């Protein structure tokens, strides 16, 4: 009820905006860029109010209560209390807005998600926020910030429209993920140090619904294929034991998976014998096209990637005779954007938006070389042969891609189109397409950098000759899941949205479930993810979660 009341108040605010007339003019040379984020009054008509949305540089009509409601719902940006506190209020001259967050929120309508949905407007004129809770506040906003505009100037700004039929009931929410517990992974035949070990592993996972057919009928059916030690990344198949919730977070209280197929080297011919901070994705998919059997598809890359290196292929489920095929490229995309997480796309969705392309692949590379946020592309290698010839550039459809910082000049570019609250120190290490009946979500799992700033150096600050672990750092890190709307990705595939426009509709902090979070600046909370679409169960690997032998722990969520 509180949120409804707040929404009604915001509608009233915009009604006031739409009915007050201002006599001020803008110059005939005013451009859309100069008016980004402004509230404009059409002075040569009846004072109609328009809002210029900074994310697409289009104007949205605020003339009726329903219009205002749709604007808030479609264009409002959720914000935490901590980030809101970094933006000065208009009546506090002793408070300076943080420039790092201003780049994301200037001219935006903000919704205070951690309270009752209070609404704010951030003026691009004075970099301050104005409360939209009462009509009187809206009147003050118009008097101080409303800008009159002529028809001649207004027509230069394209009109934006929003889908008034948007229904969030078809999206999986954070509350739909119910934690079921965790289980341990087996040691591996080589102990902690050898190539055939789960120690320092968990970089890639995929679920095989017909695996372990003699296993117990306990709701956790099938098996998992995954990669072991990060320096060798051999592949093994394991059973799925019943997960247990340990109140003390004691791995000794958990069940342990058994080995169904011992580790094998599936990477022969890819990246040579040595892997420098390797990145890998696995995805099981049933027989497609003229294939003779189901395959496990893979993508492999590493921290510094040669453009000539192929990245993708497939192999058979029998690890003792995997019949590996590849390698191939993903279209003309950079390997920094493609060679990590990999998952199956629901067939019904693919038939309408990416026909013949039932796999999604992508990568986030720290420093933003992949794009400053997770990337995603749909592809289907069987369309190019059985198997495609080595070196084939597989046709792909872009679903998500933010601006890359691979050009060094763009590292500090405030105009870059990025994931909201982006940090160069972010790590998105897993992804999956969740479904539950008619509801769905595309999720990315990883470690999110937090705080006011990020930097290249060590944990203590910027440096090149560093005493500690050198790389991209933030003041804090959190294990997190990003939730994306598949409809937004469909719009990108269709060309009606730019690849950088989709943003998460929800995020979930999963640190409370993890066993090995030792401090605010601990990196690499998470590893890979896999989804059992038949039983609607999500598996996520916690990097180094099991202190014994530095193994990952497997955490289990049911989708309700």
Span of 59-68, 105-114, 477-486 with lowest mean pLDDT: 59-68
Q: What is the mean pLDDT of residues 319-337?
A: 94
Task: Verify that 334 and 220 share a domain, yes or no.
Answer: yes
Residues near 436 by beta carbon (within 8 Å), at least 6 away in sequence: 172, 176, 536, 559, 560
- Give the separation between CA 439 and CA 408, rounded to whole angstroms: 41
pLDDT band at 481; cut points 50, 70, 90: very high
Relative orientation angle of helices 65-75 and 2-19, to the nearest 10 degrees = 120
CATH number at residue 204: 2.115.10
**Is 522 part of a structural domain of the chain?**
yes
What number is the average pLDDT over the span 338-353? 96
In this predicted structure, which of 12-26, 86-100, 118-132, 361-375 has the lowest mean pLDDT?
A: 12-26
Angle formed at CA 106 by CA 158 and CA 521, multiple of 5 degrees: 135
Residue 57 pLDDT:
82
Q: How far apart are the C-alpha atoms of 414 and 423, rounded to whole Å? A: 12
Q: DSSP 3-state assignment of 546?
A: strand
| Whether residue 186 sits in one domain with residue 135 | no
Domain housing 246: 182-559
Cβ-contact 30, 153 below 8 angstroms: yes
Per-residue pLDDT tens digits for 40-77:
888 877 677 888 988 778 888 776 544 555 566 567 77
Per-residue pLDDT at 291: 95
* Bond prior to 395 in cis (omega within 30° of 0): no
Q: With bands split at pLDDT 50, 70 and 90, how would you rate the model's confidence at 116?
A: low
Statement to judge: residues 442 and 522 lie in one domain: yes
Q: Are residues 524 and 375 in the same domain?
A: yes
Mean pLDDT, all residues of the chain: 86
Of the given ranges (76-90, 415-429, 454-468), which has the lowest mean pLDDT?
76-90
Domain boundary, last residue among 114, 129, 163: 163
Give the pLDDT confidence of 2-43 residue by residue, as tens digits. 444 444 444 444 434 443 333 334 443 456 778 888 988 888
Tell me whether residue 171 is in a domain: no
Domain boundary among 163, 190, 208: 163
- Of the pLDDT bands very low, low, confident and very high (cuts 50, 70, 90), residue 172 is very high
Task: Return the biggest CA–CA distance within the chain.
Answer: 80
- Position with higher pLDDT, 118 vs 367: 367
Same domain, 73 and 208: no
Spatial separation of the C-alpha atoms in residues 75 and 110, rounded to whole Å: 9
**pLDDT at residue 518, rounded to an integer:** 87
Residue for token digits 């700033």?
453
The reply to whether 175 falls in a domain is no
Identify the residue with better confidence: 18 or 509: 509
- Give the pLDDT mean for 362-381: 96
Give the per-residue pLDDT at 142: 61
2-19 and 135-145 helices cross at what angle (nearest 10)?
40
Q: Are residues 501 and 436 in the same domain?
A: yes
The total of structural domains in the chain comes to 2
- Specify whether 146 is located in the same domain as 186: no
Q: Do 548 and 419 fall within a single domain?
A: yes
According to the model, what pLDDT value does residue 84 have?
86
Angle at 383 between CA 439 and CA 499, to 5 degrees: 50
Q: Could you give the percent of the chain with pLDDT greater than 90?
A: 59
Q: The pTM is what? A: 0.72
Residue 353 and residue 493 in contact, taking contact as beta carbons nearer than 8 Å = yes
The residue-averaged pLDDT of 139-167 equals 72
State the residue for tokens 């199956």.
Answer: 344
Do residues 116 and 242 share a domain? no
Q: Which residues contact 525 (CB under 8 A, 6 or more apart)?
A: 446, 447, 477, 478, 479, 510, 511, 514, 517, 542, 543
Are 10 and 132 in contact by the 8 Å Cβ rule? The answer is yes
Task: Answer yes or no: is 172 within a domain.
Answer: no
pLDDT score of 525? 95
Residues facing residue 540 across a β-bridge:
529, 555
- Tell me, yes or no, whether 74 and 198 share the same domain: no
Residues 144 and 226 occupy one common structural domain: no
pLDDT single digits (tens) 216-270: 989 899 999 999 999 889 999 999 999 999 999 999 999 999 999 999 999 876 6
pLDDT at position 270 is 65
- Please indicate, yes or no, if residue 168 is contained in any of the structural domains: no
Does 189 lie in the same domain as 152?
no
Mean pLDDT value across residues 324-343: 94
In a domain, 177, yes or no: no
pLDDT for residue 91: 80
Predicted pLDDT at 308: 80
Among 272-276, 282-286, 349-353, 539-543, name the one with the lowest average pLDDT.
Answer: 272-276
Which of 163, 197, 226 is the C-terminal boundary of a domain? 163
Element (H, E) at 301: strand 295-301
Residue 124 lies in a domain: yes
Q: Which of 110-124, 257-271, 303-317, 443-457 has the lowest mean pLDDT?
A: 110-124
Examine residue 431 and state whether it is found in any structural domain, yes or no. Answer: yes
């Amino acid at each position: 009820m509180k949120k409804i009341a707040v929404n009604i108040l915001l509608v009233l605010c915009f009604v006031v905006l739409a009915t007050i007339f201002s006599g001020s003019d803008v110059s005939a040379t005013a451009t859309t860029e100069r008016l980004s984020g402004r509230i404009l009054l059409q002075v040569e008509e009846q004072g109609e109010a328009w809002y210029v949305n900074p994310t697409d540089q289009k104007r949205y009509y605020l003339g009726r209560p329903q219009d205002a409601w749709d604007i808030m719902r479609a264009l409002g940006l959720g914000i935490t209390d901590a980030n809101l506190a970094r933006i000065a209020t208009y009546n506090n001259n002793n408070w300076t807005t943080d420039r790092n967050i201003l780049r994301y929120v200037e001219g935006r309508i903000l919704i205070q998600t951690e309270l009752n949905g209070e609404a704010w407007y951030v003026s691009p004129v004075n970099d301050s926020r104005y409360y939209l809770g009462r009509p009187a506040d809206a009147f003050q906003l118009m008097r101080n910030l409303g800008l009159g505009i002529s028809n001649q100037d207004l027509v230069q700004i394209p009109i934006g429209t929003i889908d008034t039929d948007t229904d969030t009931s078809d999206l999986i929410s954070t509350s739909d993920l119910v934690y079921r517990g965790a289980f341990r992974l087996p040691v591996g035949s080589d102990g902690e140090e050898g190539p055939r070990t789960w120690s320092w592993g968990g970089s890639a996972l995929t679920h095989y619904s017909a695996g372990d057919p003699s296993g117990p009928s306990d709701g956790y059916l099938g098996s998992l294929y995954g990669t072991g030690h990060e320096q060798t990344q051999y592949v093994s198949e394991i059973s799925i034991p019943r997960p247990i919730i340990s109140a003390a977070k004691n791995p000794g209280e958990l069940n342990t998976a058994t080995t169904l197929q011992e580790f094998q080297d599936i990477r022969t011919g890819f990246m040579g014998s040595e892997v420098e901070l390797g990145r890998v994705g696995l995805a099981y998919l049933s027989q497609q096209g003229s294939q003779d059997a189901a395959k496990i598809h893979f993508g492999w890359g590493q921290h510094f990637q040669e453009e000539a290196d192929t990245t993708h292929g497939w192999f058979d489920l029998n690890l003792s005779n995997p019949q590996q095929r590849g390698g191939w490229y993903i279209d003309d995309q950079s390997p920094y954007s493609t060679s990590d997480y990999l998952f199956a796309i629901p067939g019904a969705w693919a038939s309408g938006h990416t026909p013949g392309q039932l796999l999604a692949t992508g990568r986030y590379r720290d420093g933003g070389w992949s794009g400053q946020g997770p990337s995603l592309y749909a592809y289907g290698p069987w369309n190019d042969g059985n198997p495609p010839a080595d070196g084939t550039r597989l046709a792909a459809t872009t679903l998500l891609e933010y601006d890359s910082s691979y050009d060094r000049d763009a590292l500090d570019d405030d105009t870059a189109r990025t994931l909201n609250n982006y940090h160069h120190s972010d790590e998105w290490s897993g992804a999956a397409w969740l479904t539950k009946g008619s509801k769905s979500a595309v999720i990315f799992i990883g470690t999110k950098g937090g705080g006011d700033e990020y930097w290249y150096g060590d944990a203590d600050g910027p440096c090149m000759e560093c005493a500690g672990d050198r790389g991209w750092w933030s003041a804090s890190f959190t294990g997190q899941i990003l939730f994306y709307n598949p409809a937004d990705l469909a719009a990108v595939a269709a060309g009606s949205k730019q690849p950088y426009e989709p943003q998460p509709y929800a995020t979930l902090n999963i640190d409370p479930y993890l066993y090995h979070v030792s401090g605010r600046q601990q990196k690499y909370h998470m590893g890979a993810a896999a989804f059992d679409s038949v039983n609607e169960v999500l598996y996520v690997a916690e990097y180094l979660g099991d202190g014994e032998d530095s193994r990952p722990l497997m955490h289990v969520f049911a989708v309700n």
